[in-house]
Amino acid sequence: MQTFPLGSFHVGRVGFGAMQLPGPGVFGPPRDRDQALAVLRRVIELGINHIDTAQFYGPNVANELIREALHPYPADLALVSKVGGRRDDAGAWLGAQQPDELRAGIEENLRTLDTDRLAAVNLRIHSGDPTAVAPVDRELFDRQLTVMIKARDEGLIGGIGLSGVGLDHLRIALDRTEIACVQNAYNLADRSAQPVLDACVERGIAFVPFFPLGSALSPDNPVLGHPAVKAEAERLGRTPAQVALAWTLSVAPNVLLIPGTSSVRHLEENTAVADIELGDEFLASVG
């Protein structure tokens, strides 16, 4: 599998996202704990060395499953988390954007994963809509960056990532420090983050798209239901999801996928997209 730098690690371009391991709505315990642990162990068996997680997945559930399944961690495993969010008692997604909340989030990720250092931590800019980008609050963003830089300088995190950001966020951050990765919504049907992706390509920064299959797995999903995607899947003997993921990989060499699943079979299908060669006619048809 091809690799790309992520902080001090070189990771395979297909990683694993832990968001689907907790219960429904990314809240509470998994429906099948043994299955969740089996998925994580299969991740390592498949040679995946990039796991994306967050303390607020569960909360704590995804991290604790990762720790139970994989600790002590392989030396080449890049554990990447994020801060900037929290959950209330009903599971609602809330912001946790103040500097002291970011620091507490970093420390809680370290505690629940039982590690003294994370490969990278993404500063998630909370907008209330996971696919939207909030305007820059310059005073707050500067204070947020100060916390992230301090954590990196202390050795708690290897690299600083950004999530849910626009070009202005990225430019301000790059004026102050190195950025290891950017996580934004991006897929065949929603390419609003293209300017950010292009900037990451130019600077050699890893771009980690979330919602690569769209935001819902319904029959009218604009990604999985795209006629060209379905036709290419039939031609290749693959699933529409595999074709959509392979397309996302094809967009640029710095794209790192982190598809999530709670199924070993789906994990294996997702990992196989690294070897899919899409047809020129399909690529031309989707632009």
Contact 165, 120 (CB under 8 A): no
Cα separation, 203 vs 58, in Å, equals: 34
Active site (catalytic) residues = 57
The SS3 of residue 202 is helix
Secondary-structure breakdown of the chain: helix, strand, coil percentages, each rounded to the nearest 5: 40, 20, 40
The SS3 of residue 272 is helix
Indicate the angle between helix axes 264-271 and 240-250, nearest 10 degrees: 40
Contact 182, 208 (CB under 8 A): yes
The SS3 of residue 160 is strand
CA-CA-CA-CA torsion for 208, 103, 53, 190, nearest 10 degrees? Answer: -30
Location of structure tokens 């709505």 = 25
